[in-house]
Chain A
Amino acid sequence: MTRRELVLVIGALVIALGLSAAFFVGTVSSDAAAQASAPRPRIFFGAQATLPPSTRSIVDIQDRVGPFAAIVPLQRNMTDSARDAAGFLLIVIITATTLLIAHERVVSAYRASLGGWRTQLRVLLTGLAVLGLGLSATALAWVVYLGYVATTARATPFGVPAALQVGMAAFGVIAVFLLVVLAIGFSATSWRLGDTLFRWRALSRYQPDVPAPLVAVIGATILYVLWQIPAIGAVALLAVVAYALGAVVTARLIGGGTTA
């Protein structure tokens, strides 16, 4: 095992130990047997807008967890903030999984977007064009399909609901395919953004040491943070979707990439 791998393993061990302690404290604090009133559910979905409050105070939990008393406030904060971080964790996992499962496609899209600002603009405009094409074709397809259903299927029993369900199922399949393409493009986009970040003079010396998946995750983090900004977020989301689509289409159809 090299020194770098050893450092990674030790880092993972520290994270695992810290989270194990947090899990233990969380388990003790949610122990239903020792609570006087009805415990707060671990997961809830419904019309009810209020939940039973957490009946345990921090001091009460600290008395029960012994040597882990110091991390009880940290665990409370972690529990509250992790709920909001679910979207970010999903983005990280999607980026990592796409890099792992569809590595060749991501590399291909990544290489298709290599170049100066003209190349970047071409990729972005290609993506916008494909996005517009897709939206237009989808809208027209629904117009044609709904017209067909309204004129042809209404004469048969259960014809209209059955035809609509078939149409929605087909649309769902297309949407899943589109999501896969977007995931590949998003990973390549994140990778490109991370690369651009590490070209800055202050960070360039670390570039050879940082593995590509970590660069992509850093890029994805920047994009996720950008999406959270109220006014800019929607524009950034549209730009990222267009760029991601453009990178995949450029690599696949125009041949700007490689099949490495």
Chain B
Amino acid sequence: MSDRPVLDDLEIDEVDLHRLLAGAPPLSPPIGFRDTVMASLRERRVAWEWIIAALFALPSGVFLARQVIVHGQDFAQAVANVMTAASSETSDAFFFVDGLTVIALALLGIACAFAAHALLISGSGGRTVAR
């Protein structure tokens, strides 16, 4: 039983709980406890950024993967033509690209930017506390 006095302003149904809690021996928090608590307080929630990154990356990634699988020879041919034009004396050049591929590439880049930001934010919280 604890030697701490029972508080006068407790309600009758609070006395048992008070006795139970007061009976626990005082313990100092473990090393790193404060840092852990502060880290959780400082941690910025980045779940929404991950969701947006996934929403943007998934359709564009699938679309680009299909483009490479189905129309891969177009890309290979274009690269080969670029190499040929770079070493030839021709002065004519014509370029065409599917607009949806451009959108998919941009969307993938934006998704990667969101993901990188989420990673950096979640990583920087720990570094700040440990400093």
Residues of A with Cβ closer than 8 Å to B? 1, 5-6, 8-9, 12-13, 15-16, 19-20, 22-23, 26-27, 30, 32, 41-49, 51, 75, 78-83, 85-86, 89, 92-93, 96-97, 100-101
Contact = CB atoms under 8 A, between A and B. Distances in A.
B120 interface: yes
Q: Which A-B residue pairs are the 8 nearest by beta carbons?
A: A82-B99, A79-B99, A89-B106, A5-B48, A16-B55, A41-B74, A20-B59, A12-B52
Contacts, number: 137
B71 A30 contact: yes
A47 B106 CA distance: 27
Contacts of A45: 78, 81-82, 85, 93-96
Given A79-B98, A93-B113, A43 B78 contact: yes
A23 B70 contact: no
Contacts of B56: 12, 15-16
B59 A19 contact: yes
Nearest to B116: A100
Contacts of A30: 71, 98
Given A1-B45, A19-B103, A82-B99, A43 B93 contact: no
Interface of B: 45, 47-48, 51-52, 55-56, 58-60, 62-63, 66-67, 70-71, 74-75, 77-78, 81-82, 85, 90, 92-107, 109-110, 113, 116-117, 120
Contacts of B45: 1, 5
B101 A48 contact: no
B106 A93 contact: yes
Contact of A19 (B52, B74, B94, B107): B107
The A interface is mostly helix, strand or loop, or mixed, namely: helix
Nearest to A86: B102
Given A23-B59, A44-B94, A45-B82, A100 B102 contact: no
A70 B71 CA distance: 26
B103 A78 contact: yes
A32 B70 contact: yes
A47 B85 contact: yes
A48 B94 contact: yes
